[in-house]
Amino acid sequence: MNTDRLPPLAPDTLTEAQRRAADAIINGPRGALYGPFVPLLRSPELMECAQRMGEYLRYRSALGQRLSELVILLVAREWDQQVEWAIHAPIAIAAGIDRRIVDAIAAGQRPAQMSDDEALVYDFSLEIIRRRAVGDPTFERVRKRFGEQALVDLLGLNGYYTFLAMVMNAAQTPAPDSAAPLLPVDR
């Protein structure tokens, strides 16, 4: 097991800026300081900026919660990010993503039964993650189906959760103990 490189900071060691940043997370919709915000607390201004972006993308994205959660799972799978997976797999199911879709993504497979919207978000997300680009046909299908704001939010979701995955993978942030089954990493 990997050692948490940037574990929780003791409350009595926090600077004023860290305390303000932590309070903003704790008093916001997340209700606690966990996951990526533990290592990010070392840079309180970055954490504050990240949490504001994340709050928008997670709770108010033009794409809607169900499809946003699908994106988060795809990013978590591509980055083998256990914390994101543990937090968001149950949320995705509660938001309406079929458990068979979640299980297929966990296994690194394309889900057999997706709605048209889910398949479009899946294709777009994997193109940008794997190819570092999106082809014209996929880009235009997303623009036509969801509009430009949702298209940009879709890019934002992929980028934001990739950023969080990078932070937690580098910090070796452990998944919560109460986590649902972890992602297999030997795919």
The predicted pLDDT at position 28 comes to 87
Dihedrals φ, ψ of 28, to 5°?
Answer: -95, -165
| Same-domain check for residues 51 and 75 | no
The predicted pLDDT at position 13 comes to 97
- Domain count across the chain: 2
CA angle 163, 168, 17 (to 5 degrees): 80
How confident is the chain (187 residues) per 10-residue block, as mean pLDDT? 91 97 92 95 97 93 98 98 95 97 97 97 98 98 98 98 98 82 72
The predicted pLDDT at position 176 comes to 85
154, part of any domain: yes
CATH number of the domain enclosing 150:
1.20.1290.10
The predicted pLDDT at position 29 comes to 86
Find all residues with CB under 8 Å of 140, minimum gap 6, and list them: none
C-alpha 107/C-alpha 104 separation (Å) is: 5
Name the residue range of residue 38's domain: 16-59
The predicted pLDDT at position 179 comes to 56
Within its chain, how far is the Cα of 78 from the centroid? 11
